[in-house]
Amino acid sequence: MSEIIKDNDRESQKDKANADSTKLDSDDDKIIWELKHKKTLGFFYSWFVRYIFFFGGIYYIIIGTQKYLSRDDNGLLISVILLFLVILWFFVSPLLIYKTLNARKILIKNNNLILKKYIGKDINLPLGTFFIDIRNPTWFAALLVCDDVEIVNFHGKSIYTLQLIEDNIENLNQLYVVLNPYINDFLYSLDKDNYHKAYNILLPITQNFHSNLYKDKNRQFNLNKIERLRKEQENAM
């Protein structure tokens, strides 16, 4: 009887989330959720700083290379600094800039999250097979204001990352409401081995203060609740 009540609760959560705000797309399919991100002064400031670092980095690489080739006394030190800049910036941030600008739409319909791109193949993910990890900027990255918004599967693989300001996502809580029952059902239904693999991936993230999953505060899922339900299921068998 308790399982029937739990199933009904999950279904009611899904129905409530789906009924909150729907519209039709070009294929006449109901769009359950679509990303709404405000373009504030902080957002534009963030991109302005990025371009300064980007073109400034290119400038200093050119100058540093010239000094190194001319056997300047500071050539070795400059080369080490440039190597650090390359690793820190040019292998990471330009790719995130491209991914952010290339994301045309992010929406949910037909029980799938769909990320539409300007260039390349769209991404289609069934609900319940992924979660959203939003990490706040730390130390130097705080100058850039934006947060890393990452779509991750339960094997720990990053599916897509873009940079937005978390507080500027107007309907983020609605997204969590939509995802919650699907994620809980997925984790609840996993066999013991696969569940422990997923649990070991999720637990460190929920203990990371800079993540939106810290102590399950965004309600995408609740590991403690899932653990309890799985133990109740095991004891009942």
Are 162 and 205 in contact by the 8 Å Cβ rule? The answer is no
Report which of 226, 219, 232 is spatially closest to residue 195, judged by C-alpha positions: 226
End-to-end Cα, the chain, rounded Å: 15
CB contact at 8 A, 156 and 178: no
- Give 38-65 pLDDT, tens digit per residue: 877 777 777 777 777 767 767 766 766 6
Q: Which domain holds residue 204?
A: 2-236
Provide the domain count of the chain: 1
Per residue, the 3-state secondary structure of 69-96, as one string, reads: HCCCCCHHHHHHHHHHHHHHHHCCHHHH
191 contacts 225 by C-beta, under 8 angstroms: no
Low-confidence ranges of the chain (pLDDT < 70): 1-28, 54, 57, 60-61, 63-65, 67-92, 137-145, 209-210, 215-218, 237
pTM: 0.74
With contact defined as beta carbons under 8 Å apart, do 187 and 197 qualify? no
pLDDT in tens, 123-144: 999 999 999 998 876 555 545 6
User: How is residue 66 written in tokens?
Assistant: 């010239």
- Reduced to 3 states (helix: H, G, I; strand: E, B; else coil), residue 94 is helix
